[in-house]
Homo-oligomer: A and B are copies of this chain.
Amino acid sequence: MNKPDLTPDQIIQALNWRYATKRFAPDKKIPDDVWKALEQSLVLAPSSFGMQPWKFFVVRNQETCQQLIEHSFNQDKVAEASHLVVLAIKKDIGADDVTCYIDCVSEVRNVPKDKLEGLLNLIEGYLNEPPFPLQPDKWSAKQVYLALGFLLYSAAMLGIDTCAMEGFVPAKYDEILGLPEQGYSAVVLCTAGYRAEDDDAADQAKVRYKTESVVQCID
């Protein structure tokens, strides 16, 4: 695998180009090859122990998107964006999920399962008796936000506009999309596509605290 070699300036440029898109051009769709890379950003995102306590639902049915608007504080971008991704946690992650993950490690790395008992015990120990109180759903939600970061970042690199959204009613999304039946629950959304020409938010200065207020060196 070749080592990537972007320059610091390319990074900074992409990070400044992106913004939380308020209005999307409803007729512009993300090409398939670009979408596949965005999807892979979610698949390849890291998670604690590599457990991937998540699933990503891509809502393409326009009727469903329309139905979700009222459960998204009437933000119609959930229907106007090219893609709506509902990032969900696996509910109540536990021993079965650890076994499932160990099976995957065994298969991908071609290692017999009995050689993975140490890893299995380590993860189960962490989930059951962590050094600090661990609530599985909260833990899984944090992992999902990391994956969200990967999705937003890939999009910026590829010139795709996005908006991460917490302003929605998870219980309604769960119900409409049938997530509980599968053992999942929505935690955050991401709309992706292309900014509308008249999206005023595109021209607003990015608001960030000064670097010295949020980064502190301990020398």
* Contact assessment for A169 and B214 in the assembled complex, using a CB-CB cutoff below 8 Å: no
A95 within 8 A of B: no
A69 within 8 A of B: no
Measured CB to CB, the closest approach of chain B to A57, in angstroms, equals 5
A115 within 8 A of B: no
A81 within 8 A of B: no
A54 to B55, CA, bound (A): 27
* Contact assessment for B4 and A13 in the assembled complex, using a CB-CB cutoff below 8 Å: yes
Measured between beta carbons, the chain B residues less than 8 angstroms from A213 are 55
Q: Quick one: which of B17, B131, B146, B187 contacts A3, CB cutoff 8 A? A: B17
Copies of this chain, tallied across the complex: 2
* Contact assessment for B52 and A209 in the assembled complex, using a CB-CB cutoff below 8 Å: yes
* Contact assessment for B4 and A157 in the assembled complex, using a CB-CB cutoff below 8 Å: yes
Chain A 52-84: CB-based contact to B (< 8 A → 1; otherwise 0): 101111111100100000000000000000000
Chain A 104-145: CB-based contact to B (< 8 A → 1; otherwise 0): 110011000000000000000010000110000010011101
A192 within 8 A of B: no
Measured CB to CB, the closest approach of chain B to A49, in angstroms, equals 9
A209 to B5, CA, bound (A): 28
A61 to B218, CA, bound (A): 6
A42 within 8 A of B: yes
A152 within 8 A of B: yes
User: Considering only CB atoms, which chain B residue lies closest to A208 in the complex?
Assistant: B43
User: Apart from A55-B213, A109-B204, what 13 extra A-B contacts exist at CB < 8 Å?
Assistant: A1-B13, A1-B16, A3-B17, A6-B158, A11-B154, A43-B208, A43-B215, A55-B215, A104-B209, A142-B142, A147-B149, A149-B150, A177-B218
25 contacts between A and B (CB under 8 A): A1-B16, A4-B156, A4-B157, A4-B159, A6-B14, A6-B158, A8-B33, A11-B158, A16-B44, A39-B215, A50-B208, A57-B216, A61-B218, A105-B207, A108-B205, A108-B208, A131-B169, A132-B169, A138-B141, A142-B187, A143-B145, A145-B145, A146-B146, A146-B152, A149-B152
